Each structure stands twice: as structure tokens, then as C-alpha cells.
Amino acid sequence: METFASWLVDAVSGIGYPGLFIAMFFGNALVPIPVEAIMIPTGYLVEQGQMSLFMAMGSAITGDIAGSIFSYWVAYHLGRRFIYAYGKYFFFNHQRMEMLDKFFAGHGEMSVLTGRLVPGLRHFMAFPAGMAHMNVKKFALYTGLGGGLWMATLLGIGYLIGGNKEMVRHYLPYVEAAVIGGVLVMIVLYVRHHRRRKPEAGNGAA
């Protein structure tokens, strides 16, 4: 990882903002490259004055959204066909596809927003969203919000301590745990709010 991160620092510095866009695109479209390995070196380059903060974030977020939309498009057009043909081998049938549709119709925005903040899960949120035919504009918006927040956090780490690999290695798990804790709090608050709305909606209908 250390060698790879050093290579990324050189690559991003050499290719610049288009290279950052491409790295983020392929990291979401084809190869699940850990965003940590991209944004922490980028933050270090910003601190060194070799990259602009706003240009770096803009390139990263647009690449992130573009790569996610590519995966969304693949799942949108081919996902259901694959599930209907081979889903039985993965215990995924038409009924579960309908359940996924209903879930994303009601909770798609929150699912994408929180999912994009969770390491290991963020790369794969486009596939259920695409298969469920979630509104692409909403998908892009919440992908950008969740991904942008996580990338800004990593860029901040790179900016503050990116030159000290030992400190990055030590503190990054704590940052990830804090973000996951924040995600859990968001989900709990969302569920409580959603449950409160149901009785109100029922009273209104009555």
C-alpha cells in the first residue's frame, strides 16, 4: 500500500487534475480502488502547494459521480436481466427484486448517502440503485454528497498529516470508525423521523 500510495502521489502530481478525475472514475466504474489511497496523497499535494484545493475536490467529485453513474447505467440496463436469468443461484428472485424496488423508492436517497460514507460499501451502491431504477438525478446528487464528504475528510487528513505515513496509518482507522458511527446516528435519526411521519400520514388520510 505504501508503494502504491507513493506511486499515486507521483501519478496525480504528474498528470494533475485529469489524472485525479480518471483515477476516481475507474475507482468507481471498474476497479474498486480505495479512495483513501487517492485522496490522502492529494491532500498532501494541496498542502505542498502543488494542487488547488477547489480544483482537486472538483476533479475528484466529478470523477466519483461519473464512475458511479457508469456502474449505475450498467446495473440499470443489465442488472435485472442478469438477476432474472441467474438470480436463483444467489437466492435472489423476482419477489426480492420487487422488495428492492420498494425499498429504494422510499429510502433510496438515504441509502446512497450513507452507503457512500462506508469504506468497502461505497463502491457498490450504484448497483442496487441502478437495478431498482432509482431516479438518476437523485442518485447523482446523493452520490456526490456522500462521496464528497468522505473525500473531503480524507483530503483533510492528507493536508494535515499526509507527509507522515505512520500518523496516517495510526489515525485513519479512528477516522473511519468515527464516520461509521456518524452514519449509524444518521440512520437512527432517519428511522425515527420516518416512523413519526407514518402516524401523521395516517391521521391525515383519516
Predicted confidence (pLDDT) per residue in 168-184, tens digit: 778 788 888 888 888 88
Distance from chain centroid for Cα 174:
19
91-143 pLDDT, tens digit per residue, is 666 676 777 777 777 778 888 888 888 877 787 888 888 888 889 999 999 99
CA distances from 63 to 5, 39, 139, 160, 192 (A): 19, 12, 15, 24, 34
Residue span of the structural domain in which 10 resides: 2-205
- The confidence score (pLDDT) of residue 20 equals 86
Q: Predicted confidence band at 3 (pLDDT cuts at 50, 70, 90)? A: low
By CB neighbour count within 10 A (0-12 exposed, 13-18 middle, 19+ buried), where does 192 fall? exposed
User: How far apart are alpha carbons 103 and 167 in whole angstroms?
Assistant: 40
* The CA-based dihedral angle spanning residues 168, 164, 123, 134, taken in that order and rounded to the nearest 10 degrees: 80
Q: 87-111 b/e with 16+ CB inside 10 Å = b?
A: beeeebeeeebeebbeebeeebbbb
How many domains does the chain fold into? 1
Q: Which residues contact 46 (CB under 8 A, 6 or more apart)?
A: 52, 53, 56, 155, 158, 159
Task: State the pTM of this model.
Answer: 0.80
